[in-house]
Structure formats: structure tokens, C-alpha cells
Structure 1
Amino acid sequence: MGRGPGRSRSLTEAEAFDAMSLMLRGAEPQAVGACLMLMRMKGETAEEIAGFARAAQEALPPLPCTDLDWPSYAAGRTRGLPWFLLSARLIASSGRRVMLHGWNGSDSAVRDGLDTLGISVVRKPGDAAAALDRDGIVYLPLEDLHPALFALLDLRKVFGLRSCVNTVCRMLNPGRAGASVQGVFHPPYRLLQQDAAALMGWRQMTVIKGGGGEFERHPGKIIEGFGLRYGSRWEENLPALVHDSRRLADLHLPSSALLDLWERDEGPDFARQMVLGTAALALRTLGKDDTVDTLWANRHAPRASLAHAAHGIRN
């Protein structure tokens, strides 16, 4: 990558796998910085992201298998409350197993929202299975789930810039879920993540430019969706759900508004449509045709008793 104009090239997927494996094992910091910043300058390729993500996955501890992977790695500067957490909890209430994982820098909105909604934050990966069996949803902080990868992500404080590790974290899929929903802040990354997922053999994936970079659908805008459906590339323009063009951050509400909407269905209709629209897109990613309005009406019923015999511990 650093051999100058005309001689440098991107890494192959195998080379990227080896490079990430070395970085995770503790390569010389000068080499790590050179690699990540050279990649920042030239731009990542799908092969590099796929190789990096495979190596990061391989270094994970054993974890329970899940239905839906939901990464959360946005900085949160342009968004309001994390309404997408209600969408994830709604999917879990239908009997699917949802694994959230992430890190949001100094922004505490997501972690505060998890506490408000009673979504378990699991610090020891070995405790994830019990939380999923009980609630159908769990959140794994990256700093506990994968300390070596977190150390690479946290180099942003040194570089003053994001690196390709942000994208790798979104592609981590620690529960080896059959479906993944991802948000980005910068639109070009939608195709990058789509192509990397195809190289990794994923089947179901949706990636959108979401609220502040999260997988959260603005209900008043046409959304460009990218990803995979049954292993084939998928792209679609999704129509607006309401006539309301306000910014997500315009909803100036305390974190208790999340619980008000979930428990009593009290709050702005704009927020409700954000939750339902995001959940509906997640259901489509799962290949399910459940009516999201019915799920919302039954959200307080006991979780659907689906057979989870196939959900063992992955090696």
C-alpha cells in the first residue's frame, strides 16, 4: 500500500486477513498506524474489509447464535434519542433473537437508552446465552466483547480520524446471525459493506444511511436501501411513510420518552413511525412478512414461543 504511485496496490482478502490477525495479536504500533492511515488515504476495498472482518470474527470468544445482528457504532452527533432500540426490542418480542453490539465514543445516549428500556448489557460473553433465552435481546459492549478490536477502534483518539476499523466493527456479526441490519453516516459505505458481505457469504443484509449513522429509518424521507437478499445484491428506494421532514434531532425529549412510547404508546407519532418503519425494514431483512402494526399491538404479550433448538453455541 505504501510503495508510491504506480507501484502500490490494495490488499487481497487473504493479505487483509493476515494483517488484521497481526494487529489483533499486538503488532508494532508504528506498523498499525501506517497500515490504517494508508488505507484511510487510499480508501478501503470490499476485499480488505472482508478479510479484516473474518480475522476479527475468528478472534471472538464462543457466543450463542442469533437471528438478527444489529451493530451500533455511530458517534451520535446528529441524532436524538436512540429510537431504534425500540425497533430492536420489538423484533425480539416476536420471538427472534437479536444481538446488539457497539461503541459510540463519548456519546452516552445508546447506553442510557439500553438502561431505560431494560435491555441487558452483557459484559461477559459467556452470559449472553442466558440473556437471549430470557429476553430475546442482548447488547454486548465492544470493549468487553473484543478488547483487541476495541483498542484498534479507539485509536481514533490518536489519529483524530476514523479508520476502516469502524466498518470492520459493523461487519463483525458476533452471533453469526443469518441477517444483519446496518446504518452508515457516509453513503458510499453502503455499497462497500454490501460488497464485503457478499464476499463473506452472507445471505440477508440491509444497510441504509440512517439516523446519525445508526440503522434507524427517517419516516419522512425516501430511503435508499442496499444489501443482500438470499445472497444476491439488493437495492431499492423505500418510500416515505409520513409527510414530515423534520430532523431526528428536532425531537427534544428526555430518555424517559423511550419508555413512555414502549409502555403506554405515548409520544410523537413521528417517533412511533420511526420505530415501526425501522422494525418493518428489519423484518424484511429477516425474510419475514409479519405485520409490524400487529407486533406493536402485541408487544407486551409473552415472547412468541419459537423453536430455538438450532440456536447452539458456535465454535
Structure 2
Amino acid sequence: MTEPTALAPYVAILGRGQGRARSLTMPEARAAMSVILSGDAAPEAIGALLMLMRMKGEVGEEIAGLTDGARAALALWTGPAPAIDWPSYAAGRTRGQPWFLAAAKLVAQAGYTVLMHGWNSHQATGASVRAALADVGIPQVPWADAPGALAQTGVAYVPLEALCPALLDLLRLRDVLGLRSCINTVLRMLNPAAAPIALQGVFHPSYRELQRDAALLLNQPGLRVLKGGGGEFEHHPTKDITLHGLQDGAIWEGQTGTVLSGHQRLSETDSTLADVWQGRIQDPFAMAIIISTAALALEACGIVDPARLARDLWLRRHDAKAPEGPSCTAFPCSSAPPTAAL
């Protein structure tokens, strides 16, 4: 039964008025998320909490606490931790093909298991993430089947509704409130299987430091946050973009580098992911997106020359077998800035 006042203390902290309101502490935010996911919160209070936090501007302690509370509501992961957590929660209104899926597949073929999870508001479009999974051989599986899928293929995608339906309900409050909320950020931070490396995309640059600060509070060892294509972890090969993150649990910053010249938009190509992956079309721009994105992921795993490995993986992508061996923790993380050169 819903308890109308269950969230009231946390709403009051945020909304007491000028000079009296403050941000939630990490324990308070954790407790608030626990109340929400338990079903003991009135929907009006949930909306008030999320919108007050948005108006104020979220801080790292709040995002970390909300994420910790969300993790506590998930069913336990039953297998070895994946090497990489790769969330996909961008709206996808302006992006083109989801080239980052091919990059994730290459990284998995290098032997680094990749757990993907997500929900995108424009799922029905031809360029949607889920529609393209099969194009590069990434299985979409229920949460309980994900450990087995990673053991077989090295990469798997879990839909948010299969991971935690209650979190999807919170995310879809955007349709009711007309605005995004901190839930979008929490889902990027979720890392449900405790992977040592997390790769996160953002659309708004200010969220890079916010997610980094929250990850630091959550004791995340490795993190890369990129202002990427459509808000995904996807590199634009003509742009030298600042990466924020963590290296061995300490704050880190680096640059992506550029691999092409020009001003082409990510969506300005008629090529499809399937055609490029299968080699039916030779699209240098699309290939540069894929290879440079894979290189950034490999660098986060400690590969010394990630661009070279990414190129090699691309050339032999159809010969690669299921991963056997290296995990992200098998290599010392490099302190040098990432290189995405082709």
C-alpha cells in the first residue's frame, strides 16, 4: 500500500525555500530511491522530488546515492563480472546509425566481455539501437541469461524493462513531466554487474564531471565519459573531445584525438550498420567512427596501442572467435591520454 508521506522528508530537504533548501546527502538519496522502488511513494511526491532536483541541479552525492539505491533493487548478477559496462540511454532523436554497437562487438572480440543495457525513446526508428543489435551479432537477452550470453559471445544487451521495470517506469515519467530527470543519469551510472570499466556517453558536457564525481563516490575503478554521438559513447572521428573519468579509482582526464578532417555530421551518411559491418559498402567515415570508438574502449582497458588493435580487429572481424582470456583487469591501465588514430 502506498504511504503518501514516505518521500516527504526528502522533498522537504530539497524544497524548503531559498536559504533553507539543500542537496540530499548520499545516504539520503539512497534512502529516497529505496522508498521509490519499494512502491511506498505517492506519484506526486516522486515527481516533486525529481523536478526539485532538476531545478536545483544534481550533485555527485545525489546521483551516487540514487544509483546505489537502484542497484540494491536489482536481481543479483550470477556470473563473473564483465570487463566493461556499456549503457545506452540516449534519446536518439538526431543521431544516425548506432555505430557504437560495432565498436562494442570489436572490443568483445578482443577478449573483453561487454555488458550493454539500455532503453531509447525512439525505439521504433529504423536506426534504433535494438533494431541494429542483430546486424553485428549482439544478442538481446533477459537479465538472468546475460552471464551465459557473455560466456558464449563476449557481449550482450539487456533491455531496461528486463533489468528493472520499475526503473523504466521512472524513466518514462519524462512523458508525463515533459522534462528529463536525474533518472537518465542514474541509469548511465547503474553498472549492474559491477564491471571494473564503465563507458558512458553524455549529450550535455556538464554531465561529464557529474558522472565522474558520482562514480568516484561509488568506488568505480575505471570510467570514461564522452560527449558522444547523440549522447552515446561514440566518438566523432573529426573532433578532439575531452574525456573525463577515473583511472585506478582516481580522477583522470584525456583527449580523444582526431582521425579524419572535415565537418561531417554522424547522421550524414546513407550507409547502414549492416552494410558496413558485412563489407557490402566501404564507408571511411563510418569505419572511422567504429574503429576510433573501439580504440577508446580498449585504451580504458589498458591497451598500450589501442588504435592499432582496433584497426586489426576491424580487418578480421568476421574471423574472430568467441573471446577466451583477457579481462580488463589483466592489463595495467595506462596513464597516457587515449589515442584514437586509425
The reply to whether residue 32 of structure 1 matches residue 46 of structure 2 is: yes
The reply to whether residue 162 of structure 1 matches residue 162 of structure 2 is: no
**Residue of structure 2 in register with 1:313 after alignment:** none
TM-score (norm. length: structure 2): 0.86
2:100 to 80, 84, 90: 84
Could you list the per-position Cα deviations for residues 95-126 of structure 1 after superposition, in whole angstroms to 9, with x for gaps in the alignment?
Answer: 1110010000133410111132231111x311
The reply to whether residue 3 of structure 1 matches residue 16 of structure 2 is: yes
Return the letter of the residue paired with 2:231.
Answer: G
- Structure 1 pair 148–12 and aligned structure 2 pair: CA distance change class (3 A): same
**Residue of structure 2 in register with 1:224 after alignment:** 242
Kept in 2, the 8 Å contact 1:72–1:100? The answer is yes
**Residue of structure 2 in register with 1:302 after alignment:** 321
Residue 160 of structure 1: how far off its partner (Å): 0.5
Could you list the per-position Cα deviations for residues 145-172 of structure 1 after superposition, in whole angstroms to 9, with x for gaps in the alignment?
Answer: 1111111111011001000000000000
**Residue of structure 2 in register with 1:20 after alignment:** 33
Pairwise CA RMSD: 1.5
Distance 2:136 2:311 in 1: 20
Distance 2:249 2:281 in 1: 39
Kept in 1, the 8 Å contact 2:60–2:210? The answer is yes
**Residue of structure 2 in register with 1:96 after alignment:** 112
SS at match of 2:74: coil
Residue 307 of structure 1: how far off its partner (Å): 6.5
SS at match of 2:53: helix
Kept in 2, the 8 Å contact 1:62–1:125? The answer is no
Aligned length: 305
**Residue of structure 2 in register with 1:211 after alignment:** 229
Distance 1:234 1:171 in 2: 17
Distance 1:24 1:301 in 2: 42
Kept in 2, the 8 Å contact 1:121–1:139? The answer is yes
Kept in 2, the 8 Å contact 1:80–1:252? The answer is no
Could you list the per-position Cα deviations for residues 27-49 of structure 1 after superposition, in whole angstroms to 9, with x for gaps in the alignment?
Answer: 11111111001001101000000
Kept in 1, the 8 Å contact 2:154–2:323? The answer is no
Kept in 2, the 8 Å contact 1:178–1:203? The answer is yes
Taking the TM superposition and a 5 Å limit, the aligned residue runs for 1:256-295 are: 257-264=272-279, 266-289=281-304, 290=306, 291-295=309-313
SS at match of 2:214: helix
Kept in 2, the 8 Å contact 1:47–1:199? The answer is yes
Taking the TM superposition and a 5 Å limit, the aligned residue runs for 1:130-145 are: 130-145=148-163
Distance 2:147 2:280 in 1: 30
Taking the TM superposition and a 5 Å limit, the aligned residue runs for 1:132-211 are: 132-211=150-229
**Residue of structure 2 in register with 1:55 after alignment:** 69
Residue 175 of structure 1: how far off its partner (Å): 1.5
Kept in 2, the 8 Å contact 1:98–1:138? The answer is yes
**Contiguous gaps of at least 5 residues in structure 1:** 311-315
Could you list the per-position Cα deviations for residues 75-112 of structure 1 after superposition, in whole angstroms to 9, with x for gaps in the alignment?
Answer: 11121000000000000111111001000013341011
Kept in 2, the 8 Å contact 1:94–1:303? The answer is no
**Residue of structure 2 in register with 1:107 after alignment:** 123
Residue 234 of structure 1: how far off its partner (Å): 1.0
Question: Relative CO higher for 1 or 2, CA cutoff 8 Å, sep ≥ 6?
Answer: 1
Kept in 1, the 8 Å contact 2:256–2:296? The answer is no
Could you list the per-position Cα deviations for residues 149-200 of structure 1 after superposition, in whole angstroms to 9, with x for gaps in the alignment?
Answer: 1111110110010000000000000121000111000000000001100111
- Structure 1 pair 60–241 and aligned structure 2 pair: CA distance change class (3 A): same
Q: Percent identity?
A: 50
TM-score (norm. length: structure 1): 0.93
SS at match of 1:161: coil
Distance 1:58 1:134 in 2: 27
Return the letter of the residue paired with 1:15.
Answer: E
